[in-house]
Amino acid sequence: MSDRVRVWCLRHGESENVTAGVAGAVPESPLTERGVRQAAEAARGLAKEPVAHVYSSTALRARDTARAIASSRYLDVDALADLSEVSIGMEEGTSDPVVRRRTAEVLRAWIVDRDLRQQVADGESGLQVVARMTSAFQRIAATHPGETVIVVGHVASLSVAVARLCPSGPQIWGAPLPHAKPFLLELDHETWHCRSWPSR
């Protein structure tokens, strides 16, 4: 039996913080009606996968997306704080376009320039985000050798994690993760591979 771990990752369904243009982790923001439909569609798309477990961040929108996928399989959802969206500190919850531009600039620096020292305001640095996301993926992989799991997370933290974990990761810049579109990561021996990256 192979110890290869398959991880279907996806961003949560559309949520109210996104439609309102609110920046930050915003952990209590719920799914929109469209987001609920997107989560159900993701569940149907993954229906034939032999999923052993479902993980999500602790944010409401991620947990509800994960529950939509897990419920048809009678699986529980484990919510991990390490999978949360990037914190932007005192700018959390703002709709200021200047902060949103700065957030995009920082994410580009992390992914393209590989400069993980940058941060928005007093929020997390890329070093902190990569450390916690890598830890989460390593724990999940160690728990599920040879199995397939699902991870529901967020656009920025998932993107920077893939960019650091996978050899071709920086190539994902310019193709932001759409809502609730699964993509496959595989851990083969000690190397992570991004087998797909969703388009809109």
Residue 86 lies in a domain: yes
User: How much is the pTM?
Assistant: 0.95
Residue 19 lies in a domain: yes
Question: Is residue 77 over pLDDT 90?
Answer: yes
What span, in angstroms and rounded, lies between the C-alpha atoms of 88 and 65? Answer: 23
| CATH classification at residue 126 | 3.40.50.1240
* pLDDT tens by residue, 7-51: 999 999 999 999 999 999 999 999 999 999 999 999 999 999 999
Question: Is residue 102 over pLDDT 50?
Answer: yes
Residue 78 lies in a domain: yes
- Residue 33 phi/psi, 5° resolution? -60, -40
The answer to whether the CB of 11 falls within 8 A of the CB of 177 is: yes
Residue 95 lies in a domain: yes
For the beta carbon of residue 189, count every other beta carbon within 10 angstroms.
Answer: 6
For the beta carbon of residue 154, count every other beta carbon within 10 angstroms.
Answer: 22
Residue 199 lies in a domain: no
Residue 200 lies in a domain: no
Q: b or e along 14-47 (b: 16 or more beta carbons within 10 Å of the residue's beta carbon)?
A: bbbbbeeebbbbbbebebbeebbebbbebbeebe
State the average pLDDT over residues 58-68. Answer: 98
Provide the domain limits for residue 25.
5-194
Residue 72 lies in a domain: yes
Residue 25 lies in a domain: yes
Total structural domains in the chain? 1
